[in-house]
Amino acid sequence: MCGIIGYSGRRQAAPILIDSLGRLEYRGYDSAGIAIFNNNTVEVYKDKGRIADLEKALPDISGTVGIGHTRWATHGRPNKVNAHPHTSGNIAVAHNGIIENYQQLREKLTQLGYIFVSETDTEVLAHLINYYYKNNLTDAVVPALKDIKGSYAIAVLCGSELVAARKDSPLVIGIGENENFIASDIPAILKYTRKMIFLEDMEIASLTPDSVLFFDSNKRQIEKQINIIDWDMEAAEKSGYEHFMLKEIHEQPRALHETFAGRISELEGTITFDSLDLTEDQIKDISRINVIACGTSLNAGLLGKYLFEQFAGIHVDVEIASEFRYVHSSPGSLVIVISQSGETADTLAALREAKSYGCKTLAITNVMGSTITREVDNVIYTRSGPEIGVAATKTFISQLGVIYLLALLFGKIKGKISSDQMKRMLVSLKQIPAQITRILGNKEFIEIYAQIFSNANDSFFIGRTFNYPIALEGALKLKEISYIHAEGYAAGELKHGPLALITKNTPVIAIATRGITYDKMVNNIKEVKAREAPVLAIADEKDIEIEKYVDGVVKVPSTEDIISPILSTVVVQLLSYYTAKARNCTIDQPRNLAKSVTVE
């Protein structure tokens, strides 16, 4: 949540800050602001609303050092006063995170004569740094950070001095030629440099145009490694699509191809993860897995439960990350954490809790160098490329791709899957990117149904076995970008309560691809139709029976029934997208949501 940018160089800072903030707006868009060092003073310009609104209101500003922020409100209403940067004297601070003891610090600083004008916790930090400032900004930041409890990623400006620090919230340093950068995320500054340094918790960076010095929390200088980011800059632009979400849905064939590349051989029936530091004997000894995740990643983990149990015979518990620390149950011999950003605060906290039990840990994530990747024993990258839309699409598909491969690999090592079965599954998986492309070619047909569904106030997504997690994901997508109340259910649960809510005004999306529960799924559809609800089915292209029982059908290419959830995912994504478009919603930036959830 929230986006931070900082610049120290020889070019004019304001255009760079505004441009970079535009690439961070998916992290928060309640308000925005910049601070520039100009004529021996720090000038601050901020307001509620979007980056474009701020840009229109800016005067001509001269200055080559500055910071910027785009906000997702946590403390205080989204207005001009609460917008960042916050100031104290000639010090300006942009902050992402939550200062848990801000009220106590506020009272203490008020007694010392500091005047607060906002409702935010961040203003405490600005005054604290001012209190400790004695002509060196780093020397002031170090003790100030020791006074606070909570999470933070900060950019601090005082005169021409620029300092960054982090704890539990992501921050990268970009290394350029005669200029250096601070950013919450790589795409913000990828236009200017591919050389990135990832700050670790409790680390501090001091930037000038010519150098960056790194310190630990006691101001002992440390060395850091430069990472070269090979993302295609065009991948972070819309490339002619109306929304990032639509672009990223269309990028899914390529994303899944990249997920599989170099990892599978369907001819030999083998799967290889170079980054997986688990021996065959260790995998054979795994009897229980805990999957920990939030939101869309949690739905990927729920499908993973079915896959690991089906392919490998391993019992799997799927835990909501924010609840894991409170269930008082020990994790299994392997803990898998799934996080698109690798920075999800609840998932990170649950990971640290799980590690205290001494079990092996593995992360599935998209972002190289993110905090979670540095704290686990094993990392498998999804290789999706940058995803800008708040609603996860291609990262979810790639997470599923990794989970399928991992479950198959474990199953083969445990002797649960034969070589012939493995080869057949890998052949089917290799065909999925092309099959997704076929679905995307039929998107206008899906758009017609979305127009019908766009007038609903409530809707249900139903599925069984492997399709149940996709029903949950479809409901999540629809509610988060179209604001239609949607629920996902295991179809067999309808008669245990939810059926009471079904009326002729409650559209139902039934994921009814072929499989062992197909006949039961048809019966569930009949139950819904008996209550006059309109039903749209997602079904196999060879299924000629389903049309008898529903109002509409979206056909997906034939594949193994256990693999078909990947294809059904694309349909529910497109249905949600076009429904939201029909309702004129802000699709890439749904209200109250942000891309990377870095506060608990």
N- to C-terminal Cα separation, the chain: 11
* Alpha-carbon separation of residue 132 from 25, 216, 461 (angstroms): 32, 18, 56
C-alpha closest to that of 325 among 347, 301, 350: 350
Contact (CB, 8 A) for 11 and 181: no
Residues 6+ apart with CB under 8 A from 445: 554
The H or E element that residue 13 is part of is helix 13-24
Q: Report DSSP letters for 367-401, one per residue.
A: -TT-HHHHHSSEEEE-------SSS-SHHHHHHHH
Among the options 2, 158, 294, 585, which is catalytic? 2
C-alpha closest to that of 532 among 505, 493, 504: 504
Chain centroid, CA 393 distance in Å: 10
Secondary-structure percent of the chain, ordered helix, strand, coil, rounded to 5: 40, 25, 40
How many helices (H) and strands (E) in the chain?
Answer: 18, 27
Chain centroid, CA 341 distance in Å: 5
Contact (CB, 8 A) for 168 and 598: yes
The H or E element that residue 576 is part of is helix 564-582
In this structure, which amino acid lies at residue 435? Q
**Dihedral, 585, 85, 110, 219 alpha carbons, nearest 10:** 120
Catalytic residue flag (residue 595): yes
Contact (CB, 8 A) for 293 and 350: no
C-alpha closest to that of 334 among 308, 311, 310: 308
Catalytic residue flag (residue 247): no
Within a 10 A sphere around the Cβ of 41, how many other Cβ atoms? 11
Among the options 48, 167, 555, 595, which is catalytic? 595
Q: How far apart are CA 321 and CA 337, in angstroms?
A: 9
Q: Report DSSP letters for 90-151, one per residue.
A: TEEEEEES-BTTHHHHHHHHHHTT----SS-SHHHHHHHHHHH-SS-HHHHHHHHHHH--B-
Q: How far apart are CA 157 and CA 5, in angstroms?
A: 11
Q: How far apart are CA 5 and CA 20, in angstroms?
A: 7
Q: How far apart are CA 1 and CA 29, in angstroms?
A: 10
Within a 10 A sphere around the Cβ of 474, how many other Cβ atoms? 29
Catalytic residues, by residue number, are 2, 595
